[in-house]
Homo-oligomer: A and B are copies of this chain.
Amino acid sequence: MNLLRVVATVVTAAVCGSAMAQNAAGTAAREYVTPRQAELLQQFEEFVAIPDVAADPAGLKRNADFLVAQLQQRGVATQLLTAPGLPAATPPVVYGEIRAPGAKKTFVFYAHYDGQPVTASEWTNGAPFKPEIKTVDGEQRVYGRATGDDKAAIFAQLTALSALQAAKMPLKANIRFVWEGEEEAGSAHLEQILDAHKDLIGGDVWLVCDGPVDQTRQQLLTFGARGDAHVQITVYGPDRGLHSGHYGNWAPNPAMMMAQLLAGMKNADGRVTIPHFYDGIKPLGPVEKAALKAAPRNDEMLRKEFGLGSVMGGDKSLLELYNEPSLEIAGIAAGQTGAHATNTIVATAMANLDLRLVVGIDAEVQQKRVLDYIKSQGYFVTSAEPTREERLSHAKVARVELKEGENASRTPMDLPIAAEIIKTVESARGKTVLLPTSGGTVPLEAMQRASGAPNVSVPIANHDDNQHAANENLRLKNLWDGIETMAALMEMR
């Protein structure tokens, strides 16, 4: 069968797949979960209540210890992995392993236990680590940081394992768990840790459980992820705040400098205008193009869901845009606003940019394009706090800080193991959506480099989970479904 026919078959199977699971492990999981939902939910809330942000290494360590205990309760051999020379506070990888007698394959389940930074005042209940259940539009959800991204995946794997054990269904392949604690901080040490434990983390495929399912709520399988790089910019005005009456229209205002610098990075259609920004994109192959064509177009549904009057990207759909790099402003801070606003020309303005990368565009290359653009706007650029002399001798001064980024990764959709995974998930969850890449980022490239194994992503969270923002949540139906999916994958041969 040629490549296109493989995908066509897969797509047909997905479209025609029964909504009822035909997978024995999935069924066993459902039978285990249904009478225990209240108890499981309480256990999940205990997990979410352990703070898991990068600024709190002690909290992250408590998460890791909690997970070690969970694995040990299920009889899984476990250890915390780190690497020589790392800072003492580096969150460890939680590792677990189950060897199946006579197994021919090894599946490595990746997920992460850390969450994005929180600003408690932005949350409705003011407490991102005090989980709360709410019913919204008839759907039950649990709110709290990392509920959807990515503690749901870890909890689903733990519960799937309990279900299989309760049903006395022995595993047919070796299973390994690699649960990271630095994903939201850019997985800065993941590759070092994996490299230091190549013997432990090897396998036939990474099953990456992170991110949301399709916006139609259909199960999604993705075969890659965009990379991610960050740029932090500070621009400088007077060395102290100045009265905007006495010095207005005379002293350079860093708030205006920042607005003008950022404004020039995109045109009115949302297209990035930084030179060479789209150069080097590796095109999709025919299999990926066919899958992308078959995937649902949810743009109009999402536009309404998010209360948007229009969207960017010209005539490209959201899914097509995933195959291009993006640039977004994560934040701008200059002076004070609202009731705190004062008539001041402030000393500095800061902005943080998030750059998503696709295969063919390296993180450092893309950061340098942004840096070159800033220079082209007449800025003297420094990576450190500028000296008084530097400020006095340049009309425009910017401090630009670059953090190590992650490159994008893509697994060919027609590998035999990919087809097996698609078939298994469909037997448990029915109709699926297949995408060449996700819009978000998972450190797939680091995993692939460390073990040589390809990866397939099987996310379980709802798309409308406020992932990364305040009031992050998990739709309970996604958690229950996710447990079935994980059970089916664990029972693969």
Contact = CB atoms under 8 A, between A and B. Distances in A.
Q: How many copies, total?
A: 2
A437 to B, nearest CB: 10
Interface string A206-218: 0000011000000
Nearest to A440: B245
A396 B268 CA distance: 11
Contact of A466 (B241, B260, B304, B335): B241
A304 B249 CA distance: 17
Interface stretch (A160-168, A341-349, A425-433, A481-489): A341-349
Residue of A333, A393, A394, A471 with highest tally of chain B CB at under 10 A: A333
A104 interface: no
B441 A245 contact: yes
Nearest to A262: B259
B307 A239 contact: yes
A270 interface: yes
Size bracket of the A interface: 35 or more
B468 A318 contact: no
Contact of A356 (B245, B265, B299, B321): B245
Contacts of A307: 238-239, 388, 391-392
A310 interface: yes
Nearest to A387: B307
Residue of A242, A256, A259 with highest tally of chain B CB at under 10 A: A259
Residue of A232, A248, A330, A394 with highest tally of chain B CB at under 10 A: A248
Nearest to A233: B337
A424 interface: no
A419 interface: no
A79 to B, nearest CB: 31
A255 B337 CA distance: 14
A251 B312 contact: yes
B321 A249 contact: yes
Nearest to A238: B306
Given A263-B260, A339-B117, A392-B308, A468 B241 contact: yes
Given A116-B342, A244-B354, 12 more contacts: A117-B341, A119-B336, A232-B337, A232-B341, A250-B312, A255-B330, A258-B259, A331-B341, A332-B335, A333-B333, A336-B352, A337-B352
The 4 closest A-B pairs by CB, nearest first: A241-B469, A245-B440, A331-B335, A248-B326
